[in-house]
Structure 1
Amino acid sequence: MENTSDKTRKYAQTTGYSLLLMALLAGYVFGYAIPKLYNFNNLQLNQSNVSSHLYNFMMLGIIMIMLLDFVVAITLYKYFKNDNNKLALWAGFLRIIYSILFCIAIFYLFQNRNELNTAVYIKNYDLFQRYWSIGLIFFGFHLLLVGILMKGHESIPAFLWLLMLMVGPTYVVIHLLKTFLPHLTNLIDILNRIFGFPMALAEIGLAVWLLVKGGKVIAIGNPNTIDKSEQFWNRVAKRTTNPSQKPNDKTLKILDSLQKHLQPNDHVMDFACGSGIISAEIAKNVNSIHGIDISSQMIEIANNRKIEQNLNNVTFSRATLFDENIQIASFDVIMAFNILHYLEDKAIFMKRINELLKPNGIFISSTIYAKQKKTILFYFFTLVNKLKIMPKINFYSSKELENNILKGNFKMIESYDISTMPERFIVVRKN
């Protein structure tokens, strides 16, 4: 079964290739074919050429653009729906309305294929422009919503979503003027000259980003990060070789807070399980536990702990959250302690966690965060980040941390400070 990250990557690629192909087709159709066929300074010659290969290629290009618009409406919705399903649905709906109006516009352009009456020929072209312009008003609102979705999708660069938020309203204004105040031709021409390039660049920029980055899983920073992170945690594991190690005071607080959220029949995942202390301590309270970690040394210690304590309902394996062997909707509870602050693209991880949980499943996290008033700890870890002596810690306020989790399609159960580090204990339920 294909997991969410694979599907999201395919939606990103499909959208990206579709947008780039549309840009190429639009360059040919609207930059070359239409100006050549609809040169009203020499209309009689143009009418004699409307059955030519140029006309046929122009219509083929327009029809392909229309079909690709429907594809993009669907794939963009699929890509962004986990960020904000309602907003993504509206964005897709508006693009479909635009595509339908574009279909109507094409119908009038098609009527000119064998039209020799000059007045009708011009009227059909004007109707094509009018319906297309009305459609582009809806298209502008579509781009505005896409810009908002891009802004909420934390891995998209700010300049791209700012560009989209600018050109969306620009489309609306220009085509409202063309539709209802067509006599303001000078103003419309000025706006097109000023914003023509940004309007073309917005979707092309999104297309390139989707092809290069969209839907890719970024573990902690760069292609070599998992290896470097494993090396770091393996070094940490060497100082934690005792499988009989007992929980410290903070871990005891976490264990105490966990109890009320666990049921005897629960199947639990311990994401970034480390040496397996928490998994071992709660094993007697649940049906089964599967602990995963990228550190082979940590997993070795965890397995030794399992053997020493004779834990028959616990398994540990070196794996990432996106391991294809992990079955979808197979866990009642997923725990992630002291890991979220190491993840750069939390949105992708939260989507994956949501995917692995059963309906109404619970996600439990305990994560350090940055208070509004900077602490000594904040400045210490800022220095550590600059020195690059351990995996990068990403600082978020408690509210930002909660929002990043809730974006994965969860609803809040509880959230409170569990230590003075500061560290936030958060429990959410899958929607």
Structure 2
Amino acid sequence: MTTALTGGMSPSTAFWDKIARKYAKSKIADEAAYQKTLERVTEHLGPQDTVLELGAGTGSTALLLAGNVKRYLSTDFSKGMIEIADEKLSALKTDGKAPEGLSFLAADGFDLRLKEAAGSDGFDAILAFNFLHLVEGPEALLNRIYDLTKPGGLFISKTVCLRSKAWMYWPMIKAMQLFGKAPYVDMMSAEKVNSLITNAGFEIIETGLYPAPRSHFVVARKV
């Protein structure tokens, strides 16, 4: 899950805030694919890494990954989503099970606080799961991600790619959007995702489909 951005300038938060509690109760659609994603991401992270996650939703993935790194800043523009994430973290702190170095922040990718958090070196890795297809103007956002990533650092993403099925989904999505029942969605292809990432200055070093055929996983290095 993530938030929709318009070139990083005018996010539409009402939809995500409205569904936050319902979203938090939803189950993972494909547990095997989710676990595979976590496995591949963890393979690329180290114990001294500083990590930024964009579009973190209610923080479920952050809570699972944060224990593998030194510092993990998990963000989402939706305050409703971050409120739930903070509730989860507080509960774990009470039980003494909270990952060290994890924090949540209501912010989009252009928030000035992220630049401060990145420091002079930048983040070792920036993560964005189920994110880019919900962004208006992803080019600007990927340029921002590049700027926040340290030289040689990683951008790891997973994007729902519906281009081949656009004829099937687009009329339904447009109708739902009219009634506030769906967010902005870009009918991307895997090729477009790859092109956006490489045009921003990253080199793709790994791809996968978790799950196949439409959830496109990418690991890219800043060059």
Q: What is the aligned partner in structure 1 of residue 103 from structure 2?
A: 315
Larger RCO: Structure 1 or Structure 2 (Cα < 8 Å, ≥ 6 residues apart)? 2
Q: What is the aligned partner in structure 2 of residue 47 from structure 1?
A: none
Q: 1:298 to 1:248 in 2, by over 3 A?
A: farther
The amino acid that maps onto 1:219 is: L
Any gaps of 5 or more consecutive residues in structure 1?
1-217
Matches of 2:28 and 2:172, distance apart in 1: 31
Q: What is the aligned partner in structure 2 of residue 251 from structure 1?
A: 34
Asked if 1 retains the 8 angstrom alpha-carbon contact of 2:73 and 2:102, the reply is: yes
Matches within 5 A, 1:292-371: 292-309=75-92, 310-327=98-115, 328=118, 329-370=121-162
Asked if 1 retains the 8 angstrom alpha-carbon contact of 2:67 and 2:100, the reply is: no
Q: 1:239 to 1:233 in 2, by over 3 A?
A: same
Matches of 1:297 and 1:368, distance apart in 2: 23
Q: 1:363 to 1:284 in 2, by over 3 A?
A: same
The amino acid that maps onto 1:220 is: T
Q: What is the aligned partner in structure 1 of residue 95 from structure 2?
A: none
Matches of 1:253 and 1:390, distance apart in 2: 28
Deviation for aligned residue 1:319: 0.7
Matches of 2:8 and 2:151, distance apart in 1: 33
Deviation for aligned residue 1:305: 1.4
Structure holding more helix per residue: 1
Deviation for aligned residue 1:364: 0.4
Deviation for aligned residue 1:347: 1.2
Matches of 2:77 and 2:85, distance apart in 1: 12
Matches of 1:222 and 1:429, distance apart in 2: 22
Deviation for aligned residue 1:399: 0.9
Asked if 2 retains the 8 angstrom alpha-carbon contact of 1:251 and 1:278, the reply is: no
TM-score by length of 1: 0.45
The amino acid that maps onto 1:332 is: D
Residue aligned with 2:37, SS: helix
Structure holding more strand per residue: 2
| Percent of residue pairs identical | 28
TM-score by length of 2: 0.83
Asked if 1 retains the 8 angstrom alpha-carbon contact of 2:34 and 2:210, the reply is: no
Q: 1:222 to 1:390 in 2, by over 3 A?
A: farther
Any gaps of 5 or more consecutive residues in structure 2?
93-97
Q: What is the aligned partner in structure 2 of residue 412 from structure 1?
A: 204
Residue aligned with 1:234, SS: helix
The amino acid that maps onto 2:55 is: A
Root-mean-square deviation (Å): 2.4
